[in-house]
Structure 1
Amino acid sequence: MQIAFETPDQPDVHELIGELDAYLYSLYPPENVYALDMASLLDPSVLFAVVRTTDGAPIGCGAIVIKPEYGEIKRMYVRPTARGKGVARRLIESLEAKAEQQGCRTFMLETGPTMREALILYERLGYQCRGPFGDYPEDPLSVFMQKGAS
């Protein structure tokens, strides 16, 4: 498994993001999915990482949006066949480490309440529940989390 910071605008990465979108929209109504589109993912403030197998096949991706006050984890996805093997943990740790190199010390995220495995992982990585942040509204279909002091 290799994790590299790449552009999200690649056919095989588009496929990953498409799988993530299909999954999210199967769980939540469109107005409750706060996903970044491709144009937003290409913004210079976004660090985008791809996890690939040793033969180069993508099995996961994630992003972190660097803001002055915090970094926000976005677009986390690991293919079902690669889950339970530490891929998501290593991906988040890589995103956080790269953001820390740019001075980021506080990390935030928004996820859904039905994403049990993700919530458990985030808690194990030191994220704690908090209220909405940034432009997010109070939403019963959102769980907001933070790691580090703001």
Structure 2
Amino acid sequence: MLIETRPALDPELAALVTAQQRELTDAGARAGERIFEPRDDIEYLVGVVNGRAVACGGWRAGEPEVAEITRMYVRPAHRGRGLGRQMIVALEEEALAAGRLVIRLETAAHLLAVIALYQSSGYARIPAYGDPRNICFEKRLPALVQ
């Protein structure tokens, strides 16, 4: 998978996030709860396989040295191939290069495969910091040696 930085208004990114939101709504999220509003404070990455955008994720700066992963999604036909893990690593690398040593994220409690992916990627559960119905995770990254 080729991973590319994309602007917030990229149409392929918007299509991926729209598919993510539709899937979340179908899986039990309340309709209208997840609306994609392109944000300039999020660094977006898109994963491309055979010229087609099939995965996305983003990170945004939080408090000092903290980044939050958001908008993680892999199209269903491409799941089970390690693309989500590749996207997590790419997001971590980008955040670390920007001086972010702690990565946090939040996900819906019913997304068991997503939770397993984060846990197997070294994320530990922390108290909820956003929607109290969600589960939050954190990972401390090693500082870059200069």
Q: Could you tell me the TM-score, scaled by structure 1's length?
A: 0.85
Separation (CA, whole Å) in 2 of partners of 1:18 and 1:95: 20
Q: Residue 147 in 1 paired to residue 139 in 2? A: yes
Q: How many residues align?
A: 139
- The reply to whether residue 108 of structure 1 matches residue 100 of structure 2 is no
Structure 2 runs not aligned, ≥5 long: 142-146
Could you tell me whether the CA contact under 8 Å between 2:6 and 2:13 is conserved in 1? no
4+ residue runs over 3 A deviation: none
State the one-letter code of the partner of 1:15.
A
**Equivalent residue number for residue 10 of structure 1:** 10
Alignment of 1:80-99 (within 5 A): 80-99=76-95
Does the CA contact (< 8 Å) of 2:25 and 2:31 recur in 1?
Answer: yes
- The runs of 5 or more residues in structure 1 that have no matched partner are none
Structure 1 CA distance for aligned equivalents of residues 104 and 35 of structure 2: 15
Give the TM-score normalised by the residue count of structure 2. 0.87
User: For the residues of structure 2 that align with 1:39 and 1:57, how far apart are their CA atoms?
Assistant: 21
- Is the Cα contact below 8 Å between 2:101 and 2:140 reproduced in 1? yes
| Partner deviation per Cα, 1:16-58 (whole Å, 9 max, x = no partner) | 1110111112221258x5x573332xx1x3210000013x210
Contact 1:36 1:75 in 2 (8 A): no
- Higher share in helix: 1
Percent identity between matched residues is 25
Other-structure match for 2:57: 62
| Structure 1 residue aligned with 2:71 | 75
Flag the structure with higher strand content: 2
